Amino acid sequence: MITISLCMIVKNEEHVLARCLDSIADLMDEIIIVDTGSTDHTKEIAARYTDRVFDFEWIDDFSAARNFAFSKATKEYIYSADADEVLDAENRERFRVLKETLLPQIEIVQMKYANQLQFRTVYNYDEEYRPKLFKRLREFVWESPIHETVRLTPVVFDSDISIRHLAQESHAGRDLASFERHWQAGYRLPKRLHNLYARELMMAGDKEDFARAAVFFRASAEEAGRDKEEIAEACCVAARAARLAGDVVEFFKYASRVIAEEACSEICFEMGRFYEETGDYEEAAMWYYNAVYETSPILALQTGNKSLERLIHCYERLGCQDQAEACREELEEEDRWQENAVD
């Protein structure tokens, strides 16, 4: 049986921390909780479960805090958890079995992160695999009988364990502010963070968020080191920012760049919104139709449903009641499917 260190970073989690720890504490051989500046009873609650509670001065860097927590671990594996996660009875048993049977060569165990959409978190999928359990010390080994080489790719196991994410609120506002601070300080967002920044804006940003982010994404769209996916993401954000600001020239500049390369649902939606706001419902309906049926999203999967809602409105304004009703039935069917997926 393997041994596991639980490592958590927390701040002001008094409402959810005990719920999380009650569901996993007895499966752990060591509990390490790093507090980054709580002003509530988080540390007192943590102390009921472990005497390994540490303070870490927040430096606006989640990786630094998690690395500090990992540095305190002493067991064979490290389980990384957030305070708003819960393991139910079925998945606790799966975790127990995993702990008893995990092969020593496994270096990373992925678990299903579930219940994303119900609590309005900024994710495209209700369930997705995430790395959660890590071998603390990696053993490098040689492989291949000839032309031998050291294996660099970690051995990853996709488990059947599902972790319920029960967020109290969306963290989008906090995350967008953090993105902004980092690019303003001169940090070049790598491709993964570039995508997450654009995604959070398109899914949860307001007019002010887009106005502030437009400077970064306009520059990103012109940056030589960005690939075509990043440029398309940047143009989507810049186009929405321009539409919200009423800058028609800038709007068509960035929207046209995406359409000329390969149109996506997000840009078709923006074109639909532009024409709908000018009162041209026929042109708007054409773009919304393309957003739903002719293109795919690159940032926000919900763009299709949002476009379908606007398409219904345009059909109604045009007096096309049969088309509106057909779209409404399709939207209701999609909503029922989403509800069943969440349940």
Task: Write the pLDDT tens digit of every residue in 50-78.
Answer: 999 999 999 999 999 999 999 999 999 99
Indicate the range of 5-14, 119-128, 207-216 predicted with least confidence: 119-128
pTM beyond 0.85: the answer is no
Residue 23 has pLDDT above 60, yes or no: yes
122 or 68, which is more confident? 68
Spatial separation of the C-alpha atoms in residues 263 and 256, rounded to whole Å: 9
Q: What is the DSSP string of 58-126?
A: --S-HHHHHHHHHHT--SSEEEE--TTEE--HHHHHHHHHHHHH--TT--EEEEEEE-TTTTT-S-S-S
Q: In what order do the strands lie in the sheet with 4-10?
A: 53-55, 30-35, 4-10, 77-80, 127-135, 108-114, 156-165, 85-86
Q: Which domains does the chain have, with CATH numbers?
A: 4-165 (3.90.550.10), 171-241 (no CATH), 263-343 (1.25.40.10)
The two tokens of residue 233 are 């993401």
Task: Write the pLDDT tens digit of every residue in 283-321.
Answer: 999 999 999 999 999 998 889 999 999 999 999 999 999
Tell the residue number behind the tokens 């393997």, with chain if given: 2
Task: Write the pLDDT tens digit of every residue in 243-280.
Answer: 999 999 999 999 999 999 999 999 999 999 999 999 99
Task: Write the pLDDT tens digit of every residue in 135-163.
Answer: 999 888 888 888 789 989 999 999 999 99
Spatial separation of the C-alpha atoms in residues 81 and 87, rounded to whole Å: 11
